[in-house]
Structures are given as structure tokens and as C-alpha cells.
Amino acid sequence: MKTAIPSLVLAGAMLLCAAPAAATDKAAPWGQATLTEMIYAPQKAVYDVAVSSKDELEGVIDRVSYLNNLYQANPFDSSIVVVLHGDEIPMFAIRNLGKYRELMERARSLTQAGPIEFRMCVVAARARGYKPEDIHGFVRMVPMADAEIIRLQQEDDYAYMR
């Protein structure tokens, strides 16, 4: 027991001395991240989109736009296809233009400014009461989202993005 007491005192003293350093390490115990600069070669990507809110769709459009910028909107070596098949479908309906005008103008501008396409599943649109003629003209209708995503990956070497 006599040897345990000096050990406890020593351990306590060490903790007291280390306390200021530990307090500063709590904020960033593993240090801070560093930015690695990269240049990305243009690629082909297909986004599998089934979102349920305007904010989520805006997030997808932000990501697609940023990727397009990284690829320098290269129409020869890059292609970005956004396949729509979820609750975002009504946002692309002509009758909802008043409610989603700004978002639709942004989506449409991406199709004009670079190698970005929006494709919509006709099955999912029909399930929500929409026909091809109910959807904005910058959107291309495809027979089935899953089949389109598989085709783009298998036949055209697109990378899958969710």
C-alpha cells in the first residue's frame, strides 16, 4: 500500500500538468484538415434522384452545377444526366411553374450552359398523375428510371451518383 500512494500522487500531478494541454486539444484533438488541390478530368455521371423537398432538389442541383464547373462545362468529354423518379416530379410540372419558377429556371439554364440533361421516369410521373405533355420541355422522358440508370452505367460507362 505504501508504494501505491506515491504512484497515485505522481499520476495526479501528471494529470494536473497535462490539464491545460488537454483543454486546448478538446476543440481540435486531431488537428485541423488541410485542403488538397485536385484537377478532375471530365467524366460521365448519372445522378439517381428521388427527393421529397424543394431544398433537397436545390441541393442536388447545387452538386450537379458544381461538378459541371469542375469539369469546365466540357461538352465533349463530360456528361451529367439527372434521372428523376421521386417526389420532385411535381416541381417539373408545367402547372406548378408559379410555385417553382426560380428552381426550374435554374435547372433549365444548366441544360443550356453545359453537358447536363434532366431525364424523368414516365412510370413514376404517371403514378403521380403526370403525362409527358405535363412536364417542362427541357426534361426528356424515359420509360423507366432504373432501366435508364443501368443502361447509362453498363453501356455508356457513367459513374453512379446518389
Q: What is the pLDDT of residues 64-123, one digit of tens each?
A: 999 999 988 888 889 999 999 999 999 999 999 999 999 999 999 999 967 999 999 999
Q: Does residue 17 sit within a domain?
A: no
DSSP-derived 3-state class of residue 73: coil
Beta-bridge mates of residue 161: 47
**DSSP category for residue 86:** S
CATH of the domain at 52: 3.40.1260.10
What per-residue confidence (pLDDT) applies to 24?
54
Domain containing 129 equals: 44-161
Q: Does residue 68 sit within a domain?
A: yes
Percent of the chain at pLDDT > 70 equals 84
Identify the CA nearest to 100 among candidates 92, 109, 108, 112.
Answer: 92
- The secondary element (H helix, E strand) that includes residue 154 is helix 145-156
pLDDT band at 9 (very low <50, low <70, confident <90, very high): very low
**Domain tally, the chain:** 1
Name 48's Cβ contacts closer than 8 Å, sequence gap at least 6: 83, 85, 145, 149, 160, 161, 162
Q: Give the burial string for 53-89 (b: 16+ CB within 10 Å, else e).
A: eeeebeebbeebbebbebbebeeeebbbbbbbbbebb
Q: Does residue 107 sit within a domain?
A: yes
More confident of the two residues 45 and 113: 45
Least confident piece of the model among 18-27, 35-44, 62-71, 130-139 = 18-27
What per-residue confidence (pLDDT) applies to 140?
98
pTM of the model: 0.81
Q: Does residue 39 sit within a domain?
A: no
